[in-house]
Amino acid sequence: MQPRSIIRYISVQIMLLITIVMLVFIAMINLVYDWASDDSVHYFMSQEAENYIQHERPAESNASIAVYPEYSSLPKAVQKIFENQSWLEEDLYYEYQNGRHLYLLPYYNPSTERLLFILHIYDESLDTAMPGLTISQVTTLLALVLAVLSIGVIYNLGWSVLMPIKALCEWNRQIASKDLKSKNTLQQPDFRFDELNEVAGQIQSSLIEISQRNEKEKQLLRALSHELRTPLAITKASLELINKTESQLTAKLSSKLSKIQRANNNMCATSETLLWLWSDDLAQFDTQSVNLAEVIKQELDNNRYLAADKPLDISLFEQEVKIEANPVLIQILVRNLVRNALQYSAQGKLVIDFQLDTGLTIRNPVAVNTDYANESNDYGYGVGMYLVTTLCRKIGWQCTISQETEQFTVRIDKFVISAKA
């Protein structure tokens, strides 16, 4: 669902409610008017019938209400209009013909023990000669008054409720862009209503807490940057010195030395990746033209031991591809991709390809029904790909991962290709 403005939503809902109320109001006015008219007509026609029964006066042809002793004495035109009726005593019957309203009331005459009929004819053309407003004009006037009052209510509601909500949104955008470290950083304004002030206080407290936690994380990363890199660098230098005396070592010690060197390289790579990955601003890393094929070849050579015991055929694209990237970041990215592909490939062919329209694609065979979640290798399954996807998202590259029955595919696109010299 697309986001909507609360001000617009409430305004539309109020207008819809007012429209419905106006329509119901107009309908009720007309209905009540019809009821009142029918009751009035019924009353006066009943009075005329009682007067006729008491005094037995003949009906006057020019009167608006006329009494006829039986149905056959009614005018022929009226008989034709009300033909095929089942007459019920004192029920008012109504018909409309050519601008005239015809009311007919059957009334029991005890002296003749038959129904007499009272006829009332109301001509609409007579309204033009009468002073005052018609019912339609009164209804229209009331609707206009209600519309004006409704607009006033909406306007008042907008200033009294919706405007403070809008002010809260603007204030929230302002403090979200600031580096909050204490509650005194930005004074909270008064949003008129207790509920809005409470929400604003919770927002400010949450942002301050997030800012303080971010500051702690920055301090931790700065400490880790020194505490991790320094001992790892010392260990690596010491291993390189020991490696120069490899000819003096036994085969068993030489094998263990190789494992220690690989573990050290893995620790260096992982710590470097994490520290670079959680850096606040990757834009600070300058970009330059990087030969992607050379970086991949270097990482394949450095990590080929991961697939030493596998009959794996590696196919690498031959064309020269130069992209605009930071050398350290691209090396971290490629290292994790290559390690993941070599470590978890099954017997078959590992394909590393690059096309301008699809980007970098790495496809490696995987064993059927392999439970990678229980892998106990030195570089747990999923960690490398998590680092890859997170790094791509921060850089702005598009990373797509898919797995079929016997093939695992990683595709990275949105590279900036360097201009040819």
The reply to whether 351 falls in a domain is yes
Which residues are 312's β-sheet partners? 348
Last residue within a domain, chosen from 147, 166, 201:
147
What is the reported pLDDT for 354?
92
Q: Is residue 18 part of a domain?
A: yes
Question: Is residue 324 in a domain?
Answer: yes
Task: For residue 173, tell me if it sits in a domain.
Answer: no
Name which of 188, 136, 140 is nearest 164 in CA terms.
Answer: 188
pLDDT, residue 236, reads 79
Domain region containing 125:
6-147
* pLDDT at residue 412, as a whole number: 92
Hunting for tokens 């598009």 — which residue is that? 398
Beta-carbon neighbour count of residue 131 at 10 Å? 4
Task: Give the C-alpha separation, 21 to 135, whole Å.
Answer: 19
Q: Are strands 312-316 and 348-355 parallel, antiparallel or unpaired?
A: parallel
8 A C-beta contact, residue 168 and residue 204: no
Domain count, the chain: 2
Per-residue pLDDT, 373: 41
- CB within 8 Å of 40: residues ≥ 6 apart: none
State the alpha helices, DSSP H only, in 244-373: 251-277, 292-303, 327-343
The pLDDT averaged over each successive group of 10 residues in the chain (421 residues) is: 63 78 80 80 85 71 74 87 85 84 88 87 62 67 78 73 79 72 63 80 81 78 71 81 75 78 74 66 71 90 82 88 85 87 86 90 79 41 73 85 86 79 40
**Which pLDDT does position 1 carry in this prediction?**
47
In a domain, 90, yes or no: yes
pLDDT at residue 65 in the model: 83
- Domain assignment present for 183: no
The answer to whether residues 53 and 108 touch, using CB atoms and an 8 Å cutoff, is: no
Is there a contact between 362 and 381 (Cβ–Cβ < 8 Å)?
A: no
Q: What is the pLDDT of residue 378?
A: 39
Which H or E run contains 120? Answer: strand 114-123
**Final residue belonging to a domain, choices 95, 112, 147:** 147
The predicted structure's pLDDT at residue 376? 37
pLDDT of residue 225: 66
Question: Which domain CATH number covers 289?
Answer: 3.30.565.10
- Output the CA torsion sign for 291, 313, 302, 390: positive
- Using alpha carbons only, what angle is made at residue 93 by residues 88 and 99, rounded to the nearest 5 degrees? 165
Residue 167 domain-assigned (yes or no): no
Cα gap 280→85, rounded to integer Å: 90
Strand partners for 103? 94, 120
Cβ atoms within 10 Å of 332's Cβ, excluding its own:
22
pLDDT of residue 75: 87
**pLDDT value of residue 296:** 92
Domain-located, residue 170? no
Q: Which amino acid appears at position 289 of this protein?
A: S
pLDDT at 410: 92
pTM for the model stands at 0.47
Predicted confidence at residue 62, as pLDDT, reads 47
Which residues make Cβ contacts (< 8 Å) with residue 183, sequence separation at least 6? Answer: 204, 205, 208
Of the three residues 95, 113, 147, the one that is the final residue of a domain is 147
